[in-house]
C-alpha cells in the first residue's frame, strides 16, 4: 500500500495521516507512534529519504500504527510482519524497513520468524510493542505474560513461565538488541535511530502497559534503569549481554529492568551475502525508482 493512499496530512507533519486514532486514551501505543515519527523525522533531517522507509505490521492493537504513519508498506497477517519485511528488503535492499509486531504476534504465532530473522541478519528493524497480553482480542496470555495472569481463556491463571525474548534473540544471533520504555519518547526515538543506522537486523523490545487488560503487569517504570552509555556499545561482550538480559525475567515483581542497547555486534547482513542483492544495492534505487 502506498503512503499517499492513507490520506496524508501534509501541513508540516509529513508522517501524519488523516486516519482517526482508535487506541484507548492513555495507551502507550500513542507514545510509540510519536517515538517512531520523531526518529524518522530526525533521520530525514540527517539525509535519509522519506520515500525510502517502508513498514510492515502484524495484527493487533500495535498493528494499527500502519494507519497512523504516512509511510508505504504492507499491513500483514497476524504473526507475519517479519517475513513480509524480509521480502520487502529482498525486493529492494535500499529500503529502510521498519517492522512492528505485538508480543502475541511476534513471540507466539510469529515465533519461528523471530528466531530466523535473528539468524539471517537482514538489514531491517523490528519494534515489538510488548504489553504482555493479546490485547486486541480482549486480553489472553502471551508468551511474555506473568505466571498467574487470569483471563477469560485462562480462568485458573497462566501456568507457564514467561519467555525472555532478549535472551532468546541473543542466543539466536541477533546483531542489535535493545529494550525501551514506551513512555520515554526521547530515549525510544534515539534507540530507534541507532537501530536503523545499524547494519544488520536490529530488534527493539518496547515495554508497554495495557490500560485495560493485564493491569497487574503495569507500572514497571520505577524499576527501569538506563544502561550506562559505553563509548562503543560493540565493546560489550556476548556474556555481559547475557548477564544483562537475565536481570529481568518478565515474571518477577521486583528487581531492576535494564533499558538501552543491550548488545550490538558487526556481522555480514543477509543482503551482503547474496551477489544479486549486492548488485541491486549498488544501483542505489529508492522506492520511487523501482520499475514496476
Ligand atoms: C492468523 C490469525 N490468528 C489469530 C488472529 C486473532 N488475533 C487478532 S489480534 C490478536 C491479538 C494480538 O495480540 P498482540 O500481538 O500481543 O498485539 P496487541 O493487540 O496486544 O497489540 C489475535 C490473536 C488473527 N487475526 N489471525
Nearest to 261 by CA among 186, 173, 190, 199: 190
Is 64's C-beta closer than 6 angstroms to any atom of ligand 1? no
pLDDT digit of tens for each residue in the chain (292 aa)?
555 566 665 568 899 999 999 999 999 999 999 999 999 999 999 999 999 999 999 999 999 999 999 999 999 999 999 999 999 999 999 999 999 999 999 999 999 999 999 999 999 999 999 999 999 999 999 999 999 999 999 999 999 999 999 999 999 999 999 999 999 999 999 999 999 999 999 999 999 999 999 999 999 999 999 998 765 566 789 999 999 999 999 999 999 999 999 999 999 999 999 888 888 888 877 665 554 3
Task: State the pLDDT at residue 228.
Answer: 86
Residue nearest to atom 24 of ligand 1 (CA): 78
Instruction: Output the CA 239–ligand 1 centroid distance in Å.
Output: 34
Please give the Cα distance from 195 to 198 (Å, whole number): 5
Is 92's C-beta closer than 6 angstroms to any atom of ligand 1? no
The cell 504489553 sits on which residue? Answer: 131
Contacts of 95 (CB under 8 A, 6+ apart): 52, 53, 54, 88, 89, 286, 287
Please give the Cα distance from 135 to 157 (Å, whole number): 16
Axis-axis angle for helices 165-172, 238-245 (nearest 10): 160
Task: State the pLDDT at residue 283.
Answer: 81
Is 139's C-beta closer than 6 angstroms to any atom of ligand 1? no
The cell 524480509 sits on which residue? Answer: 86
Task: State the pLDDT at residue 280.
Answer: 85
Q: Is 26 left (phi over 0), alpha (psi -120 to 50) or beta?
A: left
Question: What pTM was computed for the model?
Answer: 0.95
Amino acid at each position: 500500500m502506498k503512503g499517499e493512499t492513507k490520506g496524508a496530512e501534509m501541513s508540516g507533519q509529513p508522517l501524519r495521516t488523516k486516519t482517526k486514532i482508535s487506541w484507548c486514551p492513555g495507551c502507550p501505543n500513542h507514545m510509540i507512534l510519536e517515538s517512531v515519527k520523531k526518529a524518522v523525522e530526525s533521520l530525514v533531517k540527517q539525509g535519509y529519504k522519506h520515500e525510502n522507509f517502508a513498514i510492515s505490521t502484524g495484527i493487533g492493537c500495535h498493528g494499527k500504527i500502519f494507519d497512523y504513519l504516512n509511510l508505504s508498506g504492507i499491513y500483514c497477517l497476524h504473526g507475519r510482519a517479519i517475513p513480509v519485511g524480509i521480502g520487502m528488503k529482498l525486493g529492494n535492499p535500499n529500503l529502510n524497513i521498519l517492522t512492528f509486531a505485538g508480543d502475541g504476534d511476534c513471540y507466539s504465532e510469529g515465533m519461528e520468524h523471530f528466531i530466523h530473522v535473528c539468524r539471517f541478519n537482514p538489514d531491517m528493524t523490528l519494534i515489538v510493542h510488548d504489553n504482555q497480553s493479546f490485547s486486541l482480542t480482549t486480553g489472553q496470555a502471551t508468551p511474555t505474560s506473568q505466571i498467574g495472569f487470569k483471563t477469560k481463556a485462562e480462568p485458573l491463571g497462566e501456568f507457564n513461565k514467561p519467555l525472555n525474548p532478549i535472551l532468546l534473540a541473543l542466543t539466536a544471533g541477533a546483531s542489535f538488541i535493545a529494550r525501551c520504555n514506551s513512555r520515554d519518547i526521547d530515549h525510544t526515538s534515539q534507540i530507534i535511530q541507532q537501530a536503523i543506522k545499524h547494519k544488520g537486523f536490529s530488534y527493539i523490545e518496547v515495554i508497554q502497559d495495557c490500560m485495560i487488560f493485564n493491569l497487574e503487569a503495569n507500572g514497571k517504570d520505577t524499576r527501569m534503569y538506563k544502561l550506562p552509555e559505553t563509548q562503543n556499545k560493540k565493546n560489550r561482550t556476548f556474556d555481559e549481554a547475557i548477564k544483562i538480559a537475565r536481570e529481568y525475567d518478565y515474571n518477577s515483581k521486583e528487581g531492576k529492568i535494564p533499558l538501552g542497547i543491550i548488545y550490538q555486534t558487526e556481522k555480514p547482513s543477509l543482503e551482503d551475502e547474496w551477489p544479486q542483492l549486492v548488485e541491486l544495492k549498488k544501483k542505489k534505487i529508492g522506492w520511487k525508482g523501482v520499475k514496476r
